[in-house]
Amino acid sequence: MRPRAQSAHGRSFGSLAQLYDDVRPGYPIAAVDLVPTQWAGLDVCDLGAGTGILSRALLDRGTHVIAVDPDEAALASNPAESILGSAEDTGLPSDSVDVVTVAQAWHWFDEGAAAAEISRILRPGGHLLILINQLDVRVAWVLRLSRIMHAGDVYRPGYRPAPVGFDRVGHRLVEFSTPSTVDGVVDLTRTRSYWLRSSPATRNRVEANLRDYLCRELQVEGEFELPYMCLAHLLRLGD
């Protein structure tokens, strides 16, 4: 997908801000705390911050968070100080933050332009933390589910982002699960970019396929655990 198309799709989530917050999982402590310093007192840019699932966790750790996102409707739900901006043009001053966090948004960025902008706003020796929550497709039934959902933002566990100007200093794969229901999985699917850009007929077909798979083939009843993994990548601004 071209960067301009990526950016357009990345602005689509604000209309579903409350649903997004309700059904998307938070980020495991072990992934967030990959940063090798105490969070308290740090200046952090949460880039592509959206509704604030990660921003809230950072605020709870005592950081000063500036949430940057191009989606004004999504930022309205974010409790952090926020500005309209993009990964390629944050609007922040140079050398202004200690850490840049990117949660569930790296695939929307023009990586080259974003790396240059992140390098500009980070202080010397600053860190970039990339967090990616995704369904644990190593589990056979979850792989099939992700395909029915058209969950396209799935990375191989061995994936390593390599933005220019940064050194890789840490990686962690954290396994976790969240309670869900059949209706919850359908709601989760409604927050996916594929759903948001699909026709009503396609949405109806995807929902019918999901319910058929979960209820008839897997015979799901009530609440069940939905396996996830979080891919956490820590990079440091090069000299």
Residue type, 5: A
**Confidence (pLDDT) at 4:** 39
pLDDT band at 115 (very low <50, low <70, confident <90, very high): very high
pLDDT at residue 237, as a whole number: 96
Q: Tell me what pLDDT residue 16 has.
A: 67
* pTM attached to this predicted model: 0.88
Give the model's confidence band at 24: pLDDT under 50 very low, under 70 low, under 90 confident, else very high. confident
With vertex at residue 107, the alpha carbon angle to CA 189 and CA 115, rounded to the nearest 5 degrees, is: 155
Position 179 scores a pLDDT of 95
Both tokens assigned to 158:
């061995």
**Residue-wise burial string across 176-197, b where 16 or more C-beta atoms lie within 10 A, e elsewhere:** beeebebebbbbbbbbbbbbee
pLDDT tens, position by position, 212-227:
999 999 999 999 999 9
Say if residue 164 is exposed, middle or buried (CB neighbours under 10 Å; 0-12, 13-18, 19+): exposed
The average confidence (pLDDT) of the chain is 90
Give the tens place of pLDDT for each residue, 152-190: 657 777 888 999 999 999 999 999 999 999 999 999 998
Taking a C-beta distance cutoff of 8 angstroms, is the pair 154, 135 a contact?
yes
Give the model's pLDDT for residue 15.
55
* Mean pLDDT of all residues in 105-129: 95
Residue extents of the structural domains in the chain:
3-134+154-176+227-237
Distance, in Å, from the CA atom of 133 to the CA atom of 69, rounded to the nearest integer, reads: 19
Give the fold, CATH level 3, of 3-134+154-176+227-237.
Rossmann fold (3.40.50)
Report, as an integer, the average pLDDT of 55-60.
96
Task: Give residue 150's pLDDT.
Answer: 86
Tokens of 59: 């605020």
